[in-house]
Copies of this chain bind each other. A is one copy, B any other.
């Protein structure tokens, strides 16, 4: 590819750009699990827009609905006025997702991004309880605006705030210190003791699998105990399902296997199905004490997203859909497990759950090298964790099985190549 093609970015775009550096090419088209760059090179996508493209790129059914909507001059932007496409989405979401799961939630449109839904959840929890503090967990990631950043663990991101981040207390996530230590006994002691310096919080906020934090996974028993502790102390439980939700772990909501019903749920990323900016906040009806307009935003009523999101929900009407995710998950998990055994030099551990899965390598820099090598071989693969120590497989949850296997082969080839040569000190 011509170097000049990237020059515009380095000249005009801010240095803050980041994925650009790991995938140094100019993309043009995409379909399903495939992406193409300007030079016509084809890539298999195991990244899925960091979880925003769970159904793959430019899904044909959604595409037709979207083109039809636009062609008909359907209203595009309607703030929080009522529109017919919004009503259709509300009804469909209620019918297809909430009711079958016995979830009784009000739906809020807090603005179209993950951090918007998190900020709205924190506000609501504080308003309902009249308390200010929120308990977050080590390596949690919830967004880049000041409210969400306050409950985010990553120190580099936090420092970017430029101000001290307060009203949040970090507690150890499942397995934070080591596998034997029971982190919830610790947390519970803090809440019980009137001398702990930790005020009763408004809420706890957590991801069931930590997407940015390194695919750390909470056990179902741990989630159930968190739920119990919250109920015991009258603390609201917020599940941030922005990355782990919408099927990524095998079920629509990532917390379904735990059998819990969080007080507040945050959804975004893959919600629109087509990669369009869209987010909602769900909460128990009795928590809906908002004043009109108390939280607002210009892009709460983006009807293109309502349209594709409604189309995307059709997948969930098919009982076999979840099975397909599980089949793919199993295939990937087995592959990764065998990789760690076959290549002990990887010093690898399989992390994650469902199709939110990867390998954490103890070898400094190796995971980044694997992602770079895979890119050269036509596979888009991201790293995660505080030191990029995990390489992460995020294929579309309905990816063609053959394509999936092709991608896995590229990973193995990349590893083989790298293990033959000394690990670079890149990164």
Bound complex: CA A259 to CA B177 (Å): 29
* A152 contacts the other chain (CB 8 A): yes
- Nearest 7 CB-CB pairs, A to B? A126-B162, A77-B275, A170-B197, A146-B147, A18-B293, A145-B145, A16-B290
Judge if A358 is at the interface, Cβ distance under 8 Å: no
Contact across chains for A30 and B90 when beta carbons are under 8 A apart:
no
Cβ–Cβ contact A28 & B74, under 8 A: yes
Q: A84-B38, A193-B138 are in contact. Are A164 and B167 (CB under 8 A)?
A: yes
A contacts, CB < 8 Å to B: 5-6, 8-9, 12-21, 23-31, 35, 38, 49-53, 57-58, 63, 66-67, 70-84, 86-87, 90-91, 94, 106-109, 111-116, 119-120, 122-123, 125-127, 132-133, 136, 138-140, 143-148, 150-164, 166-170, 172, 176-177, 181, 185-186, 189-190, 193-199, 202, 213-214, 242, 268-269, 274-277, 281, 283, 288-299, 302, 304, 385-387
Docked complex Cα distance between A83 and B146 (Å): 29
A178 to chain B, nearest CB (A): 8
Most buried by B among A113, A138, A168, A274: A113
**Assuming A114-B297, A132-B162, what are 14 further A-B pairs, CB within 8 angstroms?**
A9-B82, A13-B106, A27-B82, A29-B73, A30-B76, A67-B71, A123-B161, A140-B197, A146-B150, A156-B194, A164-B167, A181-B185, A193-B386, A194-B386
Closest to A13 in B: B107
Chain B nearest CB from A217 CB (Å) reads 15
One of B49, B109, B299 near A78 (C-beta < 8 A): B49
> Given the complex, which residues of B lie within 8 Å of A6, measured CB to CB?
82
The answer on a CB contact under 8 Å between B292 and A15 is yes
Neighbour of A164 across the interface among B120, B122, B166, CB < 8 A: B166
Q: Chain B residues with Cβ under 8 A from A290's Cβ?
A: 14-16
Query: Please, how many angstroms separate the alpha-carbon atoms of A181 and B323 in the complex?
Result: 42
Residues in chain B near residue A161, CB distance under 8 A: 123, 126, 147
| Nearest B residue (CB) for A302 | B277
Give the complex CA separation of A160 and B74 in angstroms. Answer: 33
Q: Quick one: given A87-B8, A94-B12, A112-B277, are A74 and B170 in contact (CB under 8 Å)? A: no
Please, how many angstroms separate the alpha-carbon atoms of A148 and B274 in the complex? 29
Contact of A111 with B107 at beta-carbon distance under 8 Å, contacts A26-B82, A26-B87, A80-B18 already known: no
